[in-house]
Amino acid sequence: MIAHRWPELEHLLAMTDDVGLFQHATLDVPNRAYGYCTDDVARALIVACDAAEYAPNDAALAGLVRVYLAFLHDAQLPGGGFHGFMGYDRRWQDRAGTGDQVGRALWGLGYAEAHAPRATWRALAHRLRVHALEALPALAHLRSRAYATLGLAHALAAGPEDEALVRAQLDALAATIADDFERHRGEGWTWCEDVMTYDNARIPEALLRAGTALGNARYREAGLAMLRFYAEAVIVADSFEPVGNDGWYPRGGPKARFGQQPLEACALVEAAFVAFDVSGERRWRDVATIAHEWFLGGNVHGLVLAGEGGCADGLDAGGINPNRGAESTLSWLASAMTMSKRSSPALRAVR
């Protein structure tokens, strides 16, 4: 496996102020009109923790962790959930966020609980994560539960004081995803829902991480089966063609080719390396490489989406969306960081 360079973080720093991470950009300039989104800040917290570990003496990178934690601290509601959107005027624009925002916030907090560079920041992430557990019973949607599962798997690795509760909650969440898989799988359809939509690889990744953390073969086997099916659907002639949001991929129907989003490539990169760790099958390293190359021209248009620390917002029939928003940029950075870590001689397990 060839060595991959650590990505530049210039655009992430430009998109972050003392409040949080701007949701959108016009080209590569932050667009303040759309304010901040909890989903993006939660994902940014994971990237910032990795960046701070890579450059432990860089105060600016460590400061990103503080900013993102402060945002999530302010976003959390009395019942454990989170606001979803804040305007540039620092006022929350909703009474409560969605289940996805709860799940992603828990994911970011669980990761920071294990990997934030300061003990005080790990302690705050733990406190917020514990409070967020109160919101778990309301998570009805599949991806919301998958994101929360990822967060709890990371939190468990920190050896938290509430370890027994975390294990029980992780098992309960993973069981619901495995049950969804059993209900929906069938002839020619090894998946957990009738329409494959967005951030797809995160669902089998959640089962793989839960199965590993809990020693549960059912979760691991279901995760591998789903990821194999997904990889077969989106890798075409050694090129990554993710499910597009212009129609998605319904059971028995065609897969939408355009409206391709960067988060799909990042999700498959990370899930493939987890599958490699679980199965030992070297093909998963090739899958990760193919997915990552989508950012660098290995896509249906042969166009490069990533550069100067940012990433274009998607790939459509007419070409690239040139704006470099938070979700797209974080997807590129997380994918590039994973490839850099995993191409080292030690081939460290992905976190």
pTM of the predicted model as reported, rounded to 2 decimal places: 0.96
Q: What is the mean pLDDT of residues 182-205?
A: 98
pLDDT tens, residue by residue, 272-312 = 999 999 999 999 999 999 999 999 999 999 999 999 999 99
| CATH-assigned architecture of domain 10-342 | Alpha/alpha barrel (1.50)
Domain residue limits, the chain: 10-342
pLDDT reported for residue 346 = 46
pLDDT tens, residue by residue, 71-128 = 999 999 999 999 999 999 999 999 999 999 999 999 999 999 999 999 999 999 999 9
Give CA–CA dist 274/224, Å, rounded.
Answer: 10
Q: What average pLDDT does the structure give for the chain?
A: 96
Whether residue 348 is predicted with pLDDT greater than 60 in this model: the reply is no
The interaxial angle of helices 142-157 and 202-214, nearest 10 deg, is: 40
